[in-house]
Amino acid sequence: MRRRAFLRAGVAVGAASGGLLEAACAPALQSRPAGPVQRPLRLASNENPLGLCPAARQAVMTAIAEGNRYPRQARQALIEAIAAQHGVSADHVMLGTGSTEILQIAVQAMPPEAPVVVADPTYEDVPQYATAAGRRMERVPLRADWSHDIGRMREVVAGAGGAALVFICNPNNPTGTLTPCGDVEAWLREADARTTLVVDEAYFEFAEDPGYRTMQPFALSRPNVVLVRTFSKIHAMAGMRLGYAIAQPATIRRLRTWACNNNGNTLALAAARASLDDAAFHERSLASNRAARRILTECLGELGLEHLPSHTNFVMHRLPGEVADYNARMRERGVLVGRPFPPLTTMSRVSIGLPAEMAEFAQELRDFRARGWA
Amino acid sequence: MRRRAFLRAGVAVGAASGGLLEAACAPALQSRPAGPVQRPLRLASNENPLGLCPAARQAVMTAIAEGNRYPRQARQALIEAIAAQHGVSADHVMLGTGSTEILQIAVQAMPPEAPVVVADPTYEDVPQYATAAGRRMERVPLRADWSHDIGRMREVVAGAGGAALVFICNPNNPTGTLTPCGDVEAWLREADARTTLVVDEAYFEFAEDPGYRTMQPFALSRPNVVLVRTFSKIHAMAGMRLGYAIAQPATIRRLRTWACNNNGNTLALAAARASLDDAAFHERSLASNRAARRILTECLGELGLEHLPSHTNFVMHRLPGEVADYNARMRERGVLVGRPFPPLTTMSRVSIGLPAEMAEFAQELRDFRARGWA
């Protein structure tokens, strides 16, 4: 009996006998149910709307029995599975409480006098940790084509004498845009040994551009390059708080001394390990994202609202006015979109939900246009 | 129909229809099953052997559907529940990835030149983070009665000019012993404003000594006192990685800037919130711990092996020889006990398992005695 058929049977049985087991379990195991779109539409945080893959849900339920045990074995098992998937040995991998912990560690592990060099705008966690740690920040505006200004960033680092932490988010958040890999590679190849370069590939799987590729070869060949990945996006595990770094073993050892002990929750570790193997779910994520993103971009085209080319699960588009006003009105409709990302205060970042959710969002946009709000 | 009866019904139904739902769900919801004791006996890490309380298990299953969403709401809900339980407002509370993250933050938030003053031996995470951050460590041996040498610690801090981070673990790990609360309170009341005092009450609920009490009043009245608690012990959630601090709002705000963003996993947050309300489970944890600890201490008494008075879910006891040899032999028997805790290299820290597990452990100890190994 296949799972779906069994779950239907379970529903009937559960109803007959009080429904406790069914009520407890079926929703946990089921993929996201079909049915009416729920409000609020949660399109603010670049979450994968599909939810955990079925194997990951099952893995969580099995792991509950180990929830009282420290996660040492589960950590090692996931590290080894990640290493196998990346074709490296386990000593090239470290886990973080989300990729954000890796970014925090990268900041903390640098000498205090080294500046932190980032694009503007980019993922805000790095500037935030740098500020908390009292580090000097250097923000280099994106170029007109929304790529990182690698040339200018290199000049800033050279001006600081070479000792710097560089953060490259590719594809970039909040713009969704790519920086040419050749430009990044040239820097990684030639960078001063005192420059640490962190390449965040959180949206790696969503970027289907033929010229896009991972910087993993440089993380393996150079001690000052750190690759960062996350389970939050393609694996739909933003709530599970797991990310990882790939780097040379000596680099990993150095970074690990700054990590929080026992990071990685037993249930999340089990879910992540199961999800790593589910290639079919990843294809489904990509297909859903493509279809839903097309609904959005077609609507934006119809309304003449410029949008940046998206290589991610979100789209940055123009507004005729201030994003803060727009967001407030959307919130009143039960639609949550991205917060303002200065200096882009007349652009909105909207995350890609399910196709049915994006169809509803497109209707809201058309209605906003009719009211002169978009 | 009560849950247990329904679960039995579910087993029958599951067997008739393929067993998928039952196989997936019943073990996740059940409390630890009765049955033969499993090897290895896991008595190394001060884990609560009961496992998550039933309400927490149910909360995890419900929360799986939100595993793809960032945990902002779940974090706020737990913070408010913790605040309510402690009778404070939410701005007095911060969450950590285990209490260990709070300890890490406390180290990082101090000026680099301030030494870190700890008992010797005590919980190792603080010295470890201090070493990673390049801080000067001052280890002050426990007194002959196994309490913190508060007088000597105060002298060390005064000698450093007052600016220091002090870590007080009460009850102490790995000894399980208490430091008189009056001595701690006198220091908290009189400490220099530049001295930050972190009081770790991880084992608070297990300490049933009439003279023992929380230092929360000082965390509320003084800006330089931080109370640390965990869900790993009485709540049986070591694998869920959640701890928290209670301190004045301004102190919390300062510490929060050093926290990892979005710490706290969606499933763990839901489980913790459910567990907070389950007073019956906590009573069961205490009763089980008391009964199992008595089996152990009676055996130690019978064998003439001195043990320290335990106010926790572990016991530190003497060995006739080196703990490293003893541990290796125990491991061969499928028994995991605490690692060596220098300078106490002829003592063993054994965690309290279920009563049936401690009865098996006691038999192993008697057999070790017969062989001249204990």
> pLDDT per residue over A136-166, tens digit each?
999 999 999 999 999 999 999 999 999 999 9
Q: Quick check: B27 and A68 CB within 8 A? A: no
| Distance from the Cα of residue B333 to its chain's centroid | 26
Q: Which one of A125, A267, A336, A351 would you mutate to disrupt binding with B, by most B Cβ within 10 Å of its Cβ?
A: A267
CB-side neighbour CA atoms (13 Å) of B262: 24
Residue of B nearest to A56 (CA): B64
CA distance B108 to chain A (A): 9
- The one-letter code for the residue type at A23 is A
Average pLDDT, consecutive stretches of 10 residues, N- to C-terminus, chain B (374 residues): 36 39 60 76 98 97 97 97 98 98 97 96 97 96 98 98 97 98 98 97 97 98 98 98 98 97 96 97 97 98 98 97 97 97 96 97 98 94
pLDDT band at A172 (very low <50, low <70, confident <90, very high): very high
CA distance B150 to chain A (A): 27
Whether residue A14 is predicted with pLDDT greater than 50 in this model: the reply is: no
The partner residue sitting opposite A68, judged by closest CB among B104, B236, B261, is B236
pLDDT band at A264 (very low <50, low <70, confident <90, very high): very high
pLDDT band at A346 (very low <50, low <70, confident <90, very high): very high
Strand ranges (DSSP E) for A192-286? 195-200, 225-230, 243-246
pLDDT of residue A35: 73
CATH of A37-51+279-370, one of 3.90.209.20, 3.30.1360.40, 3.30.930.10, 3.90.1150.10: 3.90.1150.10
Per DSSP, the residues of A100-139 read: HHHHHHHHHTS-TTS-EEEEES--THHHHHHHHTT--EEE
Residue pair A281/A274 in contact by the 8 Å Cβ criterion? no
pLDDT band at A131 (very low <50, low <70, confident <90, very high): very high
The partner residue sitting opposite A1, judged by closest CB among B18, B32, B67, is B18
Q: Please compute the mean of the pLDDT values over residues A81-108 and round it to a whole number.
A: 98
Q: Quick check: B261 and A49 CB within 8 A? A: no
Q: Please compute the mean of the pLDDT values over residues A271-279 and round it to a whole number.
A: 97
pLDDT of residue A36: 84
Chain A to chain B Cβ contacts (< 8 Å): 226
| Distance from the Cα of residue A230 to its chain's centroid | 6
Q: Which two tokens stand for residue A322?
A: 């201030």
User: With a cut of 0.95, is the ipTM above it?
Assistant: no
Q: Which one of B1, B69, B289 would you mutate to disrupt binding with A, by most A Cβ within 10 Å of its Cβ?
A: B69
Whether residue A6 is predicted with pLDDT greater than 70 in this model: the reply is: no
Rounded CA separation B79/B252 (Å): 12
Residue pair A235/A275 in contact by the 8 Å Cβ criterion? yes
Query: What are the helix (H) ranges across A160-278?
Result: 181-190, 216-221, 249-256, 266-276
- Residue boundaries of the structural domains of chain A: 37-51+279-370, 58-276
- Of the candidates A147, A141, A107, A150, the residue with the CA atom closest to the CA atom of residue A125: A107
pLDDT of residue A1: 32
Whether residue A78 is predicted with pLDDT greater than 70 in this model: the reply is: yes
Whether residue A285 is predicted with pLDDT greater than 70 in this model: the reply is: yes
Q: Of the ranges A10-14, A99-103, A196-200, A268-272, which one carries the lowest mean pLDDT score?
A: A10-14
Q: Quick check: B48 and A68 CB within 8 A? A: yes
- The one-letter code for the residue type at B223 is P
What is the gyration radius of the CA atoms in chain B, in angstroms? 22
In angstroms, the Cα distances linking A77 to A198, A273, A328 are 25, 8, 45
Residue pair A139/A118 in contact by the 8 Å Cβ criterion? yes
The partner residue sitting opposite A70, judged by closest CB among B57, B65, B238, is B238
Whether residue A4 is predicted with pLDDT greater than 90 in this model: the reply is: no
Q: Quick check: A9 and B17 CB within 8 A? A: yes
CA distance B53 to chain A (A): 10
- The one-letter code for the residue type at B183 is D
Whether domain A58-276 has CATH 3.40.640.10 = yes
Rounded CA separation B163/B341 (Å): 28
pLDDT of residue B14: 34
pLDDT of residue B36: 84
Q: Which one of B66, B126, B267 would you mutate to disrupt binding with A, by most A Cβ within 10 Å of its Cβ?
A: B267
Match 């009719």 to its residue by tokens.
Answer: A370
Q: Quick check: A61 and B61 CB within 8 A? A: yes
Q: Please compute the mean of the pLDDT values over residues A217-222 and round it to a whole number.
A: 98
Rounded CA separation B80/B128 (Å): 31
CA distance A208 to chain B (A): 22
CATH superfamily of B279-370: Aspartate Aminotransferase, domain 1 (3.90.1150.10)
